[in-house]
Amino acid sequence: MIRHCKFCHVSMLVLAILGSFISPGMVLAQDQPVALNISARERLFHQLALDAEEFDKRNVLKRVVRLAKPSVVHLTAQKNIDDLTNRKVEEAGSGVLLEVNDTIYVLTNRHVIHPCKLDDIKIQLDNGRRVTAKSVLSDPATDLAVIEIEQADDLVAARTGDSTNLEIGDFVVAIGSPFGLSHSVTYGIISAKGRRDLKLGKQGVVIQNFIQTDAAINPGNSGGPLLSLRGEVVGINTAIASNSGGNEGIGFTIPINMAIVTAKKLVGGDGIERAYLGVRMDHNFVDTTALKLGLSHARGVRVTGIVANSPADKSHLQVNDVILAFNGEAIENDDHLSSMVGLTEVDSVIELLLIRKRKPLTVKVTLKHREEFEKGS
């Protein structure tokens, strides 16, 4: 089951570092069960202190936390769960201070503070000071929200990285408020990229391109940053896959590149424009159908309909075209295509690789504003 982290091993790394302090002639303690006398214990304590000092100099994780922690905020939100009685429940979450257009905002997940009145949102900085939410801008399609706050000298904006440079196996650090425990730190690796088809919330998150991590993420981590070992924010922790409701080593993070684009659009005041292609898609594309269309197995997206006067129509896409790639990126399924279109700027010219009547074909399409057309994909 996929769960939002409501407000929400690197054992090999540790062993590798510890291994650098073990000389070839040393034997691990469990292989020498002989009791130590007082002088031997003192010598061992002294050597351990030297080793610990050297280890501490190489402790990258500690430096990452020291740099990033001042930019992480603890959020609480009073949510109305009963309109008749006005009964509320308090939920905790996380956020990160991010500079957008020369102003520092709190970036978090929309589900952390929605539905919630401004007065019911509490923000606490790492130094303990509480700040007031002045306004909230959000985007349901990406589950992102930007909170406007009063500017002050003690606001420390996080440094952001480039999430496209992440590779599977990269070490990462998560900071947030699991179960309300503010500014908690965990670490792990990037387990996968490009995760989609996650069922999140009642209305769902339409635009999905999640990073998967095994860094411990729990309810309360939502909205907090995922950091590279350079101390840069590479993602916004959003959800977990869990049968128990707690961490099971599968967490999902919104890439920071997507988050920054969304935040800038929200702050810009023009709203979020979603690009539109105008094709109806086969949501149950199977191998038997693919074989009839000249493919060895079902992959990409089979077109089942074209919206009149849409970008797809004007570029002469046809029913039974199979879209295999979008700007050179292989398309996995219909959800993948929807996300790719939704993440592309309006008026962009994109290139689609198709299979039409068993032959490959490349078509250029100029995407338009979604609201100009009837509801489709």
Dump the DSSP string for 73-138.
EEEEEEEEEETTTTEEEEEEEEEEEEEETTEEEEEEEHHHH-S--GGGEEEE-TTS-EEEEEEEEE
Rounded to an integer, what distance in angstroms lies between the CA atom of residue 141 and that of residue 64?
A: 31
DSSP state of 163: G
SS3 67: helix
| Nearest Cα to Cα of residue 228 among 165, 311, 294 | 165
Residue 45: CA count within 13 A, CB half-sphere: 7
SS3 194: strand
Is residue 188 packed enough to be buried (19+ CB in 10 Å), middle (13-18) or exposed (0-12)?
Answer: buried
Phi, psi of 292 (to 5 degrees): -65, -25
Rounded to an integer, what distance in angstroms lies between the CA atom of residue 100 and that of residue 266?
A: 10
Entry field: residues in the chain = 377
Catalytic positions, written as ranges: 111, 143, 222
Q: Are 90 and 77 in contact (CB under 8 A)?
A: yes
Cβ neighbours for 313, distance < 8 A, ≥ 6 positions apart? 278, 306, 307
Q: Are 75 and 123 in contact (CB under 8 A)?
A: yes
Q: Are 180 and 92 in contact (CB under 8 A)?
A: yes
Rounded to an integer, what distance in angstroms lies between the CA atom of residue 133 and that of residue 113?
A: 11
SS3 245: coil
**Tokens standing for 367?**
């995407």
* Residue 234 Rama label (left phi>0; alpha psi -120 to 50; beta): alpha
